[in-house]
Amino acid sequence: MVPPSDLPVPPREGLPAIDPGASPGAGLLPERTTASPYVDLDRAAWSKLSESTPLPLTDADVVKLRGLGDPIDLAEVDAIYRPISRLLNLYVTATSGLHEATSTFLRENSTRTPYVIGVAGSVAVGKSTTSRILREMLARWPETPRVELITTDGFLYPNAELARRGLMERKGFPESYDRRALIRFLSRVKAGAPEVRSPVYDHLTYDIVPGAETVVRKPDVLIVEGLNVLQPARPSATDESTVAVSDFFDFSIYVDARTRNIRQWYVDRFLSLRRTAFARPESYFKRYATLTDEEAIEKAKSIWDSINAPNLEENILPTRGRATLVLTKGSDHSVQRARLRKI
């Protein structure tokens, strides 16, 4: 269970306790009695790690990239995403060197395969904005001009199949995804296939688009964004695979926040969508467009409490400790702490 939102989040999978609402300090957190595989930095210390790195985006760029309800601005990109961009540039370069070393040892003349980054986190926490910002920033580095982004929404089973399996009320839970198709996709990406295709999901119709595909053509970097991308392999009676989606990641990011804040962000987004996308005749949720403010708030809370909160508690939050980098947001969506796994 997720702890009450007025208490510090307890340690999970190697992460020591953290209070996302604490005031930022001057740098590294005081050393803890419990050993941790992470270096924990506050916002000020993290932002200083790339002072000499150029900031390639403008205010206009950030406005186009931010998601609904996410008030990210250029100052946030400067403080948080510029250091991430620099770190990833260093990691990509180092990984390229390792690839060349392996090729030399094997006496092969193989080309570099895409560097794959996973981005995980709850519904409404802002992982889509994080992914889009990183895509644009990494593409400005001369070493990685070709950066592509896919979301695992495209690997959800179509609604007809979810209904057949009795899973429509568990959409977004691990069992609602075609995991084997996603793993085949990533296997081909990492094998260096010249073209790899993934299905397309339409958030307006709330379903897979028949016949539509996203084509990934051997990019320098591929960002894979989704709720459950950090889950360990879970063999079942029908799938004995012990391969996890995260096994194909070179780097992973978990976007974190207090549960009560994410719930409020979800409600706020629901209200915004009710006035915009939900009002369109082709929208799957058009029945919500005529709700009053009070009715819409109650409906959003009901959906959160019955679907999104259990998925967060049972499946998403427990994977936080598997990430390479954990970004912890405050109530205003700004990142207050960054935890980087030691290598």
Q: Is 123 annotated as a binding residue?
A: yes
**Which class for 237: exposed (0-12), middle (13-18), buried (19 or more C-beta within 10 A)?**
exposed
- Residue 128's CB is within 10 A of a number of other CB atoms, namely 22
Q: For residues 256 and 313, what is the distance between their CA atoms, to the nearest angstrom? A: 13
Task: Name the one residue in this structure whose structure tokens are 């400067």.
Answer: 78
Q: Is 126 annotated as a binding residue?
A: yes
Q: Is 330 annotated as a binding residue?
A: no
Q: Is 121 annotated as a binding residue?
A: yes
HSE on the CB side for 109, CA within 13 Å? 0
Task: Name the one residue in this structure whose structure tokens are 């299905």.
Answer: 199
Q: Is 172 annotated as a binding residue?
A: no
Q: Is 147 annotated as a binding residue?
A: no
> How far are the Cα atoms of 23, 69, 72, 104, 131 from residue 65, in angstroms, in the given order?
28, 12, 9, 40, 9
Token pair for 284: 């799957």
Please provide residue 201's backbone torsions phi and psi, each rounded to the nearest 5 degrees: -110, 140
Exposure b/e, 308-337, CB count within 10 A at least 16 = b: bbebbeebbbebbbbbbbbbbbbeebbbbb
Strands 335-341 and 38-42: antiparallel
Please provide residue 223's backbone torsions phi and psi, each rounded to the nearest 5 degrees: -100, 130
Q: Is 127 annotated as a binding residue?
A: yes
The beta-strand segments (E) located in the chain are 38-42, 115-121, 147-151, 196-202, 207-216, 221-225, 251-256, 325-329, 335-341
| N- to C-terminal Cα separation, the chain | 30
Q: Is 124 annotated as a binding residue?
A: yes
Q: For residues 14 and 297, what is the distance between their CA atoms, to the nearest angstrom? A: 36
**CA 128 from centroid of its chain's CA atoms:** 6
Positions at the binding site? 121-128
Binding site per annotation, positions for ATP: 121-128
